[in-house]
Amino acid sequence: MAVQKLPLAKAINESLRTALDTDPKVLIMGEDVGKLGGVFRVTDGLQKDFGEERVIDTPLAESGIVGTAIGLALRGYRPVVEIQFDGFVFPAYDQIVTQLAKMHARSLGKIKMPVVIRIPYGGGIGAVEHHSESPEALFAHVAGLKIVSPSNSADAYWMMQQAIQSDDPVIFFEPKRRYWDKSEVDTEAIPGPLHKARVVREGADLTLAAYGPMVKVCVEAAAAAAEEGKSVEVVDLRSMSPIDFDTIQTSVEKTRHLVVVHEAPVFYGSGAEIAARITERCFYHLEAPVLRVGGFHAPYPPARLEEEYLPGLDRVLDAVDRSLAY
């Protein structure tokens, strides 16, 4: 295959296919992942090619899905679990937080938990309640979990490969409104580390840090800012636990301004952690406080209001202006 232009969803599909092909211990589990190929078709065709023993339609019970995935991992399997939508991960929250995350430590390292939990997340697709949320902070606070989110097809492919190969549980947040965005994937490339951030656009005056669906918005904001003569650097964080603070720090030491952007509510969100730590690391470099652009402290609104709710180009640029005005 080598280099190919693929939609993000298809890149994940290819990555899962590769994993099923190379490691017989890899399993796909979830609601409707079989014949239907998932409600977003991310697992399309996999059951047909790998059979019902490898690509498993589960009962409608998220705690059961994650709980049995833990048991399968104990038996030596590497389950890749799909949660149908962000808002439906909570029935599995207990198994994730009290069991999956802690099993390695509880066993003093004897047990490994190579489980990937795929969660299509975020808004912007005009959906009903519970289908547009960004709950990553609720997992990142929990030790024992790793949290990542790709912003483009190449990362989707490679980060999924790495997540499956990881001996730690990885929550893989898929930016559902980017599923159909095409970009290049080189399946023979040598990928960088899973938890390393990437500077996707260089700039001198201000750093925008984002991940998943908001990277695109930030790149567009940087382009718009450039037209006004502001040189904005964009960092794609890729990982929310761990966070690659070194890359952000390097950027901020240069630009002296940082704005963090995510869809999730700002209050207790990942922007808070980044702001707190980068302020500690770059106290004498920062010319403005770290600003945060994100969701409000309110339930994700009905679809007709999501454009206002979601941080868009204008809100990001507004924060850029406010930061630079300090």
Ligand X SMILES: Cc1ncc(C[n+]2csc(CCOP(=O)(O)OP(=O)(O)O)c2C)c(N)n1
Residues engaged in binding ligand X (CB under 6 A): 31, 60, 62, 84, 88, 91
CB under 5 to 8 A by kind: which of ligand X, another protein, its own copies, none does 268 bind? its own copies
Q: Which 209-248 positions form the footprint of its own copies (CB under 8 A)?
A: 241
The site string for its own copies over 1-20 (x = CB under 8 A, - otherwise) reads: --------------------
CB under 5 to 8 A by kind: which of ligand X, its own copies, another protein, none does 21 bind? none
DSSP character at residue 61? -
Does 101 engage in binding with its own copies (CB under 8 A)? yes
CB pairs under 8 A, 24+ apart, for 299-308?
299/129, 300/123, 300/129, 300/132, 300/133, 302/128, 302/129, 303/126, 303/127, 303/128, 303/132, 306/123, 306/124, 306/126, 306/132
CB under 5 to 8 A by kind: which of ligand X, its own copies, another protein, none does 206 bind? none
* Bond into 191 cis (ω within 30): no
Q: Please report how close the Cβ of residue 271 comes to another protein at its closest, in angstroms.
A: 14
Q: Please report how close the Cβ of residue 214 comes to another protein at its closest, in angstroms.
A: 18
Q: What radius of gyration do the chain's Cα atoms show? A: 19
Helices 8-22 and 153-165 sit at what angle, rounded to 10 degrees? 30
Phi-psi bin for 208: left (phi > 0), alpha (psi -120 to 50), beta?
Answer: beta
The site string for its own copies over 267-306 (x = CB under 8 A, - otherwise) reads: xxxxxxx-xxx-xx--x----xxxxx---xxxx-------
Annotation says 141 is catalytic:
no
Closer to ligand X by Cβ: residue 14 or 86: 86
The catalytically annotated residue of 131, 195, 257, 262 is 131
Q: Could you give the C-alpha distances from 36 to 32, 44, 46, 74, 156, in angstroms and in order? A: 6, 7, 10, 28, 21
Q: Please report how close the Cβ of residue 68 comes to its own copies at its closest, in angstroms.
A: 16
Q: Please report how close the Cβ of residue 3 comes to another protein at its closest, in angstroms.
A: 29
Residues recognised as catalytic = 131
